[in-house]
Amino acid sequence: MTLVPPIENSPNASQGEAFKALLCKAIDKRRNFAIISHPDAGKTTLTEKLLLYGGAIQQAGAVKARGEQRKVTSDWMELEKQRGISITSTVLQFKYQGITINLLDTPGHQDFSEDTYRTLAAADNAVMLEDAAKGLEPQTRKLFEVCRMRNIPIFTFINKMDRPGQEPLALLDEIESELNLSTWAVNWPIGSGELFRGIIDRRTQEVVLFERGERGKQSSEIRKNINDPELKALVEEELLIKAIEEIELLEEAGSKMDLELVQAGELTPVFFGSAMTNFGVGPFLDTFLEMAQGPAARNSSEGPINPSRETFSGFVFKLQANMDPRHRDRVAFVRICSGRFEKDMTVKHARTGKQIRLSRPQKIFGQDRAVVEDAYPGDVIGLNNPGMFSIGDTLFQGKHIEYEGIPCFSPEIFSWLRNPNPSAFKNFRKGVNELREEGAVQILYDTDQSKRDPILAAVGQLQLEVVQHRLENEYGVKTRLEPIGFQVARWVSGGWPALEKIGRIFNCKTVQDCWLRPVLLFKNEWNLNQLKEDHPDLELKAVAPVVSGMNPVNL
Ligand code: G4P
């Protein structure tokens, strides 16, 4: 690829214009998204099918049973092993119809952690995947809330239509009433389960027939106009009439399609299909590309930064240690927000003010690494991280900017971290502080100063295991976990004064986070709701912003 010099080095205006045109074209041709779903909804299967369309893998086939292995490895790593293909475990890039698509992995199953939430901070669009039989499930709801905070467009794919499921109208109603999100069905199913016959494309008024092919084989896409007399022989009349009547109901009482509302995250286009049989995936991808937003502007200390700002900027959204046991390395994943990234470029690290030369940027494909020559807004690159980067750090060229930090998400698992060996305290402290800084886990402190041990607070159990493992392997400290039976945490908006005002609270433990803000821990949602009822004026938050202009308190 011919590299056009960045604007700052441009010897003349026309080269500057050429660069601007190149940048705008690259932005225009990029889309990124993350899939939000509950385990088993079919994320791995859908990912595999999307890769097929992008030509990233050649062979179709259902994802094999993963049994016990699923418990210890990430979905994508697993997929990679099963299929013998090379895909990254953080971001998957593929091209489809001239568009570069970045699919960001949201770790699920045992890998569910704060990283899952943080990944959504780097995504411009989300695909909400539901199992037609189960509807909305807990993990999907939590991830949806994180998307809602940034109002990113949400595209809903209702999967497993080849199996008996809930009534489609009930599924839409659940999304509307429980998520407060309007829906617009792009297609509508004809029958379900054994009687699933296909979908009606509402925009073209065509019936796309479902063929129950061999398991995992791509089904052919036969389209017929809804008035085609041949349909009678292919689809039971009562099923077709029911689908048409339901669509009429939607036309009368449902929301209208409005792209502006889609892009504002207020209206979700809904698709019915079956990832396993590859039914509806291609049309979904086509419509997604038509409606999804491109790399979006991001809030910073200098206001929103447009991707077409000519100088490079980006932020770290994920740090991963020991991705490959052979390398024992740490990688910082950077979402590019503006300008063009080039290999060997020197950037400024906003938090420390240091200049850094990014000499070994990588795209990480499972076990293999490819050096990135250049990358654009919406892309993700991996940087070797010798302890320099923290979650939320901004890298930039040109005028100083700092992107809004990635907030702290409500932890659900809490445990005292004990250090049985007092002579190892120095290393214990160093390890705990560094791992917190890295974002491996949140650290809470007891309000009683005499209880010096930190409380580890995590979103997923694996986070605690990783912290213990790394403390032992990287800092030489063997630790003991002592679980505390709380499951819900809330920050108090009004801080300590608000808490003092209401006095003693029962069935709740008050601790403080690393910015010394009060955090309330509850055994269950019921206790939380009790407090809300007793003190309706007390404002509690499940997500807390990072505190700028103040250093967090270390152990
Ligand atoms: P996840 O990553 O969201 O956890 O889900 P995954 O893709 O692993 O799919 C979970 C299960 O659902 C798998 O079955 C998969 O084959 C099945 N599945 C996915 N999409 C569809 C679909 O459209 N229709 C039907 N009927 N099933 C679907 P499994 O029994 O766990 O594994 P396997 O034995 O099928 O490999």
What is the reported pLDDT for 36? 94
What is the reported pLDDT for 67? 36
pLDDT, tens digit, 9 for 90 and up, residues 235-259 = 999 999 999 999 999 999 999 999 9
Side chain identity, residue 141: R
* 543 vs 323, residue with greater confidence: 543
Which amino acid residue places its CA nearest to atom 28 of ligand 1? Answer: 276
What is the reported pLDDT for 367? 43
pLDDT-derived band of residue 389, with 50, 70 and 90 as boundaries?
confident
User: Coil, strand, or helix at residue 128?
Assistant: strand
CATH level 3 topology of 408-544? Alpha-Beta Plaits (3.30.70)
If you average pLDDT over residues 393-400, what whole number do you get? 95
- Cα(224) to centroid(ligand 1), Å: 29
If you average pLDDT over residues 176-189, what whole number do you get? 97
Which is the closest atom of ligand 1 to the Cα of 65?
Answer: 36
Average pLDDT over the chain reads 85
What is the reported pLDDT for 214? 60
**Contact present, 433 and 347 (Cβ < 8 Å):** no
What is the reported pLDDT for 2? 35
Question: Rounded to a whole number, what is the distance in angstroms from the first to the last CA of the chain?
Answer: 49
- Cα(274) to centroid(ligand 1), Å: 10
User: Coil, strand, or helix at residue 316?
Assistant: strand
How far does CA 509 lie from the centroid of its chain?
31
CATH level 3 topology of 27-291? Rossmann fold (3.40.50)
If you average pLDDT over residues 3-22, what whole number do you get? 64
CATH level 3 topology of 313-396? Rossmann fold (3.40.50)
Does the beta carbon of 276 sit less than 6 angstroms from any atom of ligand 1? yes
**Contact present, 404 and 299 (Cβ < 8 Å):** yes
pLDDT-derived band of residue 495, with 50, 70 and 90 as boundaries?
very high
Which is the closest atom of ligand 1 to the Cα of 45?
Answer: 7
Q: Strand pairing partners for 345?
A: 358
pLDDT-derived band of residue 414, with 50, 70 and 90 as boundaries?
very high
If you average pLDDT over residues 484-513, what whole number do you get? 93
Does the beta carbon of 139 sit less than 6 angstroms from any atom of ligand 1? no
pLDDT of 451 over the 90 cut: no
Does the beta carbon of 219 sit less than 6 angstroms from any atom of ligand 1? no
Does the beta carbon of 106 sit less than 6 angstroms from any atom of ligand 1? no
Domain with CATH 3.30.70.3280 in the chain: 408-544
What is the reported pLDDT for 3? 39
What is the reported pLDDT for 551? 76
pLDDT-derived band of residue 48, with 50, 70 and 90 as boundaries?
confident
Which is the closest atom of ligand 1 to the Cα of 37?
Answer: 3
pLDDT, tens digit, 9 for 90 and up, residues 281-340 = 999 999 999 999 999 999 999 999 999 999 999 999 988 765 554 455 678 889 999 999
pLDDT of 164 over the 80 cut: yes
If you average pLDDT over residues 86-94, what whole number do you get? 63
Which residue shows structure tokens 């509807």? Answer: 135
Domain with CATH 3.40.50.300 in the chain: 27-291, 313-396
The segment with the largest mean pLDDT, out of 13-22, 172-181, 443-452, 538-547, is 172-181
- Cα(357) to centroid(ligand 1), Å: 44
Mutate which of 63, 116, 129 for ligand 1? The one with the most ligand atoms within 8 Å of its CB, which is 63
Q: Strand pairing partners for 139?
A: none
pLDDT-derived band of residue 550, with 50, 70 and 90 as boundaries?
confident
Those residues whose C-beta lies under 8 Å from the C-beta of residue 504, and which sit 6 or more positions away, are none
- Cα(82) to centroid(ligand 1), Å: 14
If you average pLDDT over residues 15-22, what whole number do you get? 88
| Percentage of the chain lying above the pLDDT 70 cut | 85
Which amino acid residue places its CA nearest to atom 10 of ligand 1? Answer: 40
Which amino acid residue places its CA nearest to atom 26 of ligand 1? Answer: 160
What is the reported pLDDT for 516? 93
- Cα(89) to centroid(ligand 1), Å: 19
Mutate which of 35, 40, 140, 211 for ligand 1? The one with the most ligand atoms within 8 Å of its CB, which is 40
Which amino acid residue places its CA nearest to atom 6 of ligand 1? Answer: 42
If we measure between CA atoms, which residue out of 43, 57, 61 comes closest to residue 159? Answer: 43
pLDDT of 498 over the 90 cut: yes
